[in-house]
């Protein structure tokens, strides 16, 4: 796939570059990195690759830098900082206001059976409310079904920091085919492991023992830092598994 055009903040987007949907009833969707200046100007606000989905009639700018900005619906890995009378204060990224996680936003919890989370515990949660004027709110339960959907406290394992672009790649339905992340499949053949990816650039990994957990975490971090291609990833996987 040829690389889509690079845009810098303020660049004019030629009208021909905008998606053309076969169904005119679908409105044009602007994703992150773009702003609309009425009446008809669409201008990028970050430097990155202009990506277009003709089917969904969507356009956005993809970039791999910066700090995570909470967005409603995102799955994230948060650390519990302290507990108040009715909620936990959790840290999503360093030096940002705490997100609140209500005690009752867990699956199967009542007023009598509140979850006990100590400071430092890790939770996999969804952002319920995000607004630039307010501190974010998160939840560990699907409010429609009352089920946990895999969210909740993560016990054991280790946390690894990766770039935001890498966490988006890992969250694709099929990372090895859609995101060229073959290293996980290579390692999974030899080392069984469990993994949770947060949209805020955090990855939790649990395997049998610290050494195996570290192999998986290092593999992801090395692929991220070195922008490794498919062949290089296979080499790294081989090296890490040999040292085990």
Partner 1 sequence: MTLPDASLSHIHRADGSATYLQNGYSIIGGVNGPIEVGRRDELPEEATIDVIVRPAVGVGGTRERHLESIIHSTLQHVILIQNHPRTLIQVTLQVIRMPDSDTFNSKKRQFSSPLRILPSLLQTALLALLSASIPLSTTFTASLITVARGSNTVINPSPEDLQNARSTHVLAFSAEGDLLVAESQGEFEIGDWERVFEMGLHAARSGSENRKGADSDVVMLDDDQGGALRGLVQQKIEKDQKWKENIK
Least CB distance to partner 1 at residue 174 (A):
11
- With vertex at residue 173, the alpha carbon angle to CA 170 and CA 177, rounded to the nearest 5 degrees, is 80
Least CB distance to partner 1 at residue 143 (A):
27
Least CB distance to partner 1 at residue 134 (A):
10
Taking residues 159 to 178 in sequence order and writing x for each that binds partner 1 by CB under 8 A, - otherwise, the string is ------x---x--------x
Quick check: 69 binds partner 1 (CB under 8 A)? yes
Burial class (CB in 10 A: 0-12, 13-18, 19+), 18: middle
Window of 39-47, 112-120, 121-129, 148-156 that interacts with partner 1 by CB under 8 A: 39-47
- With vertex at residue 165, the alpha carbon angle to CA 181 and CA 149, rounded to the nearest 5 degrees, is 80
Quick check: 10 binds partner 1 (CB under 8 A)? yes
Least CB distance to partner 1 at residue 65 (A):
5
Among 30, 45, 58, 107, binds partner 1 (CB under 8 A): 45
Quick check: 53 binds partner 1 (CB under 8 A)? no
Least CB distance to partner 1 at residue 67 (A):
5
Least CB distance to partner 1 at residue 82 (A):
16
At which residue do the structure tokens 């969507």 appear? Answer: 58
Quick check: 222 binds partner 1 (CB under 8 A)? no
Among 41, 56, 67, 114, binds partner 1 (CB under 8 A): 67
Taking residues 126 to 145 in sequence order and writing x for each that binds partner 1 by CB under 8 A, - otherwise, the string is ------xx------------
Quick check: 64 binds partner 1 (CB under 8 A)? yes
Question: Interface residues with partner 1 (CB under 8 A)?
Answer: 1-3, 5-12, 14, 16-17, 33, 35, 43, 45-49, 62-67, 69, 94-97, 132-133, 165, 169, 178-181, 227, 229-230
């Amino acid at each position: 796939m040829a690389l889509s055009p690079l845009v810098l903040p303020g660049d004019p987007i030629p009208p021909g570059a905008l998606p053309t949907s076969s169904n005119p009833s679908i409105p044009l969707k602007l994703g992150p990195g773009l702003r609309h200046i009425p009446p008809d100007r669409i201008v990028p606000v970050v430097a990155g690759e202009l990506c277009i989905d003709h089917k969904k009639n969507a356009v956005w700018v993809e970039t791999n830098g910066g700090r995570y900005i909470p967005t409603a619906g995102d799955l994230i890995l948060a650390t519990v900082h302290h507990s108040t009378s009715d909620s936990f204060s959790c840290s999503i990224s360093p030096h940002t206001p705490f997100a609140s996680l209500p005690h009752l936003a867990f699956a199967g919890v009542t007023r009598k059976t509140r979850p006990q989370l100590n400071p430092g515990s890790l939770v996999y949660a969804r952002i319920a409310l995000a607004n630039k004027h307010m501190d974010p709110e998160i939840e560990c339960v699907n409010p429609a079904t009352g089920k946990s959907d895999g969210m909740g406290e993560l016990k054991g394992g280790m946390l690894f920091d990766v770039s935001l672009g890498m966490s988006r790649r890992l969250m694709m339905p099929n990372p090895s085919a859609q995101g060229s992340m073959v290293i996980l499949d290579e390692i999974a053949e030899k080392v069984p492991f469990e993994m949770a990816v947060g949209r805020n650039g955090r990855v939790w990994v649990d395997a049998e023992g610290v050494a195996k957990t570290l192999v998986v975490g290092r593999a992801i971090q090395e692929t991220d830092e070195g922008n490794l291609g498919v062949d290089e990833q296979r080499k790294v996987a081989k090296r890490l598994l040999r040292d085990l």
